[in-house]
Amino acid sequence: MLAERKNCHHISTGVMIRNLINSPDADQSEMIKSIKQITERGNLIDDSLIVTLLKEEMKKHPYANGFLIDGCPRTQAQLDIFERDIDKCDKVLYLHLGKEAMHQRMIERAAIEHRTDDNEFAMVNRLNIFQKQTLPVIEYLQKNYDSTFMQVDTSEDKEVVAEKIAKQFETVGVKRKLDVSSDDVPPPLRPRFVYD
């Protein structure tokens, strides 16, 4: 919804990884088999690999009016690689939810979507990884992206949360559009937002 309002391209790293795992040639790729095992345990994909996959996905949309990146960075190394290989973000949006509510939403999602990575072990592991690896990144982003960091409490109904997010982004604009003037040179990949 936010991507549509802001006319930018939304990339969810979770969806990107699940599409890779469910691709027709997934059984022939040792890398994809390894990624599937990692996600089923609730662990994070290698930092450089996730940023490389994200960059490749962004290159598929050279005319995008910016990007809404969902699910990256989750570690400090991911952020460092992202900023080195792609760019710094214009805005950072942190969707906050308490640990218990987060776990409950994972359980509800598991009952609906029947994903292989939504088993109890993986859920607990993901919550622990979030506490140990992702929260420090959020604190870093809040400190270093102070004027562009936004936090929204997502414990309320979807409609209320959507309205809060929309209000946060009313004044957001794109600093730089993608340069697609040359087919020989990949366009600069300017992420518009990080959304976690």
- Answer with the residue of higher pLDDT: 188 or 89: 89
Q: Report pLDDT digits (tens) over 14-23.
A: 999 999 999 9
In the predicted structure, residue 196 carries a pLDDT above the cut 60: no
DSSP code string of 97-121: --HHHHHHHHHHHHHHH--TT-SHH
Q: Where are the chain's structural domains?
A: 2-195
* pTM given for the model: 0.81
CA nearest 96: which of 35, 144, 138?
138
What is the average per-residue pLDDT within 52-73? 91
Question: For 2-11, 35-44, 71-80, which range has the lowest pLDDT when averaged over its residues?
Answer: 2-11
2-195: which CATH architecture?
A: 3-Layer(aba) Sandwich (3.40)
Q: Note the pLDDT of residue 1.
A: 65
